C-alpha cells in the first residue's frame, strides 16, 4: 500500500508521511499509516479485509462494531479496537480492484507476542481473552452473523476434506498418505466434540475464534496485556475453541510451520489455564471447564485438517511462502495434536 488514496477517504490531513506493513497474518494485510494534521503527527492502522475469505465484509463490520460498543459499556479493563468511520460515515471503503479497507486505532508502545512467549505473557494473554469472554457473556450470540459460516463446524470441514481428497485436483494425495492417515486417526476427537455440542453440554457463547498469541497486545515495559484485537471471527461458538487456539499458539516450542518435532511447554499450558479460568471460572458450566484440555486437542486437529485440505486443494485459502508450506503446517499441527492428546487429562 504505497499511495494515500484510501487514507484520504478516512481522514483530512495536511501531509502524508507513509505506510509500512505490520504483522504476519495469514489472511488480511495490515499497514501502519502516518500523517500530519494541524502540525501533529497521527498514526493509525489501515487494513485490507480479505473479501475472498470474509465474503460478507459488511457483516464483519456490524459484528465488530456491536462487540466493541458492548465492551465499552462493560467493566472491560483493556483498550478497545473500535473501527474508525470514513468521511462518508461508512466503516468500509472499496478500491478499484474490489478490495475492502478499514481503519483501526494504533496502540503505541505495544507488541504482539508472535514468537515464543514465556509463562507470564501467556498468563496475561489468557486473562485478556478470559476478560473478553466475561464481558460478552451477556451478549446474545444470535445477534452476531457467522462471518465464516461453519468456522468451527468440524463435521462440515471433514466433509470438505473428503470432497477435496476424492477429487484430488492437483494430484497431491499420493504424496500425502501419512498425513491423510493421521487425519483419519484424529476423527474420534472431532466426533466427541460434536456430541458435546449436540447434547447442549457446551452452550453457545460469543467467542473470539482466533485467540492466537498475536491477537493480544502487551505493554513491553510493564509486560501487561493492553488490548484484544482482530475481531473478524467473533461470532457464536464454544469457549473450548478459544482456549484451544490459545494452547495451539502459545504452548508449542516453535511456530506452526516449523518442521522440527513439536514439544509442549507444560508451564505455559498451566499459565494459560490459570489465567483463563481466573476470569471465566465463575460463569463457565462444569462441562466447559472439564473439557478445556479436550478443546486444545480438538483445535490442533481441526487446524491440521484445514491446512491439509488447503494443501490438497492447491493452496487456495492460506498465504504460502514456499511450495510445501501448507503441508509443513499440516504435519506440524498433527504432531501437536498427538502431543496434546498424550497430556490431555
pLDDT digits (tens, 9 = 90+) for 185-222: 999 999 999 999 999 999 999 999 999 988 999 999 99
Contact of 133 with 280, CB cutoff 8 Å: yes
pLDDT for res 98: 87
Per-residue pLDDT band for 3 (boundaries 50, 70, 90) equals low
Computed from CA positions of residues 19, 9, 16, 112, in that sequence, does the dihedral angle turn out positive or negative? Answer: negative
Cell digits of residue 44: 493509525
Say what the pLDDT of residue 24 is. 64
Please state the rounded mean pLDDT for residues 22-36.
85
Q: What is the C-alpha to C-alpha distance for residues 305 and 316, in angstroms, rounded to an integer?
A: 14
pLDDT in tens, 151-186: 999 999 999 999 999 999 999 999 999 999 999 999
pLDDT at 259: 83
Q: Give the pLDDT confidence score for residue 26 in this predicted structure.
A: 62
CA atoms of 141 and 36, how far apart (whole Å): 40
pLDDT at residue 43 in the model: 98
Question: In CATH, what number does 119-343 get?
Answer: 3.90.1200.10
In the predicted structure, residue 1 carries a pLDDT above the cut 50 = no
Q: Are 82 and 72 in contact (CB under 8 A)?
A: yes
pLDDT digits (tens, 9 = 90+) for 289-298: 999 999 999 9
Q: What ranges in 101-176 are assigned the alpha helix state H?
A: 119-135, 154-167
Helix (H) or strand (E) holding 179: helix 177-199
Cβ-count burial of 151 within 10 angstroms (0-12 exposed, 13-18 middle, 19+ buried)?
Answer: buried
Mean pLDDT over all residues of the chain? 95
User: pLDDT per residue over 223-245, tens digit each?
Assistant: 999 999 999 999 999 999 999 99
Mean pLDDT of 32-46: 97
* Model confidence pLDDT, tens digit, residues 278-320: 999 999 999 999 999 999 999 999 999 999 999 999 999 888 9
Write down the residue that cell numbers 468456522 correspond to. Answer: 151
How far apart, in whole angstroms, are the C-alpha atoms of residue 89 and residue 20? 26
Q: Where are the domains of the chain?
A: 5-54+81-105, 119-343
Q: Show the beta-strand stretches assigned E in the chain.
A: 15-22, 29-37, 40-49, 93-94, 100-105, 205-207, 216-218, 225-228, 235-237
> How much of the chain, in percent, has pLDDT values that exceed 90?
89
> Could you tell me which of 68, 4, 63, 64 has the C-alpha nearest to residue 35?
4
State residue 319's pLDDT score: 86
Please tell me which residue, 4 or 282, carries the higher pLDDT value.
282
CB 82 within 8 A of CB 68: yes
pLDDT reading at 2 higher than 60: no
Q: Over 50: is that where the pLDDT of 84 sits? A: yes
| Higher-confidence position of 327 and 114 | 327
| Over residues 90-109, mean pLDDT | 95
| Closest to 341 (Cα-Cα) out of 286, 301, 289 | 301
Please state at what angle helix 325-343 crosses helix 239-250, rounded to 10 degrees. 110
pLDDT score of 345: 47
Amino acid at each position: 500500500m504505497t499511495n494515500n488514496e484510501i487514507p484520504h477517504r478516512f481522514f483530512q490531513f495536511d501531509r502524508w508521511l507513509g505506510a509500512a506493513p505490520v504483522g504476519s497474518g495469514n489472511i488480511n494485510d495490515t499497514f501502519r499509516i502516518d500523517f500530519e494534521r494541524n502540525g501533529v503527527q497521527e498514526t493509525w492502522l489501515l487494513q485490507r479485509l480479505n473479501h475472498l475469505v470474509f465474503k460478507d465484509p459488511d457483516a464483519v463490520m456490524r459484528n465488530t462494531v456491536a462487540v466493541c460498543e458492548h465492551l465499552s459499556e462493560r467493566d472491560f479493563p483493556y483498550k478497545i479496537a473500535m473501527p474508525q468511520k470514513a468521511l462518508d460515515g461508512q466503516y468500509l471503503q472499496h478500491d478499484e480492484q474490489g478490495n475492502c479497507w478499514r481503519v483501526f486505532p494504533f496502540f503505541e508502545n505495544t507488541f504482539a507476542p508472535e514468537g515464543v512467549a514465556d509463562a507470564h505473557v501467556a498468563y496475561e494473554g489468557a486473562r485478556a481473552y478470559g476478560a473478553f469472554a466475561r464481558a460478552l457473556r451477556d451478549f446474545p450470540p444470535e445477534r452476531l452473523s457467522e462471518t465464516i459460516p461453519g468456522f468451527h463446524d468440524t463435521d462440515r470441514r471433514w466433509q470438505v476434506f473428503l470432497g477435496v481428497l476424492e477429487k484430488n485436483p492437483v494430484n497431491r494425495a499420493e504424496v500425502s498418505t501419512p498425513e491423510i492417515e493421521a487425519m483419519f486417526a484424529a476423527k474420534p476427537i472431532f466426533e466427541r466434540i460434536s456430541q458435546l455440542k449436540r447434547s447442549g453440554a457446551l452452550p453457545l457463547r460469543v467467542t473470539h475464534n482466533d485467540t492466537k498469541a498475536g491477537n493480544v497486545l502487551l505493554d513491553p515495559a510493564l509486560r501487561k496485556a493492553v488490548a484484544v484485537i482482530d475481531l473478524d471471527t467473533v461470532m457464536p461458538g464454544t469457549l473450548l475453541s478459544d482456549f484451544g487456539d490459545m494452547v495451539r499458539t502459545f504452548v508449542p516450542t516453535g511456530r506452526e510451520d516449523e518442521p522440527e518435532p513439536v514439544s509442549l511447554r507444560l508451564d505455559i499450558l498451566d499459565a494459560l489455564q490459570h489465567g483463563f479460568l481466573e476470569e471465566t471460572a465463575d460463569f463457565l458450566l462444569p462441562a466447559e471447564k472439564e473439557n478445556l484440555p479436550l478443546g486444545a486437542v480438538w483445535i490442533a486437529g481441526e487446524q491440521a485438517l484445514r491446512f491439509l485440505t488447503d494443501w490438497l486443494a492447491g493452496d487456495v485459502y492460506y498465504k504460502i511462502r514456499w511450495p510445501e508450506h501448507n503441508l509443513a503446517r499440516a504435519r506440524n499441527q498433527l504432531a501437536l495434536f498427538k502431543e496434546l492428546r498424550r497430556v490431555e487429562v
